[in-house]
Structure 1
Amino acid sequence: MTHALVLKTFPAGSPRGSWPAEEFASHLRAQGQTAEVVMDLAADAFLVVAPTSTARSDTRGDEAEPLRSAA
């Protein structure tokens, strides 16, 4: 089991799909932070996550919460 920190969530029903999440993750990567977009099927949302070893506390206004996946 791997652990990640959820940096921000985006609704999957958005007309732009995953683009807002991808843009946010790209912005974080440009600043040197590891970030990727994953889909949370249960919540019907795109999550921008970072591995806990590189996650920072700066969440740009959203509360960060741990994410555990079986990946």
Structure 2
Amino acid sequence: MNGRTVLERFPAGGPRGSWPAEEFAQARRLEGQMAEVVMDLTSDAFLVVVRDLDLTE
């Protein structure tokens, strides 16, 4: 997925919307990971992702 690793998926149709994904991402950021939430329109889900490090740069 374009140099990203999916840590967790949350259904977009859940009653709390993106909040569970945002809370999960925040917990990962507190652990030192650069987690972010993106929307996958194809699967109708919020994804918590981290960018893969490119060690060749």
- Structure 1-normalised TM-score? 0.71
Gaps of 5+ in 1: 54-71
Q: Trace 1:45-64 onto structure 2 (pairs within 5 A).
A: 45-53=45-53
Name the residue aligned to 2:22. 22
Distance in 2 separating the partners of 1:25 and 1:51 = 13
Name structure 2 gaps, 5 residues minimum: none
Following the alignment from structure 1 to structure 2, what is the Cα–Cα distance between the partners of residues 16 and 42? 20
Aligned to 1:36, the other structure's residue is in SS state strand
Counterpart in the other structure of 1:9: 9
The root-mean-square deviation of aligned C-alpha atoms, in Å, is: 1.3
Residue 3 of structure 1, CA deviation? 1.2
Give distance in 1, aligned partners of 2:31 and 2:7.
Answer: 14
Amino acid at match of 1:44: D
The runs of 4+ residues in structure 1 deviating greater than 6 Å are none
More helix by share: 2
Distance in 1 (CA, whole Å) between partners of 2:33 and 2:4 is 13
Distance in 2 of aligned mates of 1:44 and 1:5 = 18
TM-score by length of 2: 0.88
* Partners of 1:3 and 1:31 in 2: CA distance: 21
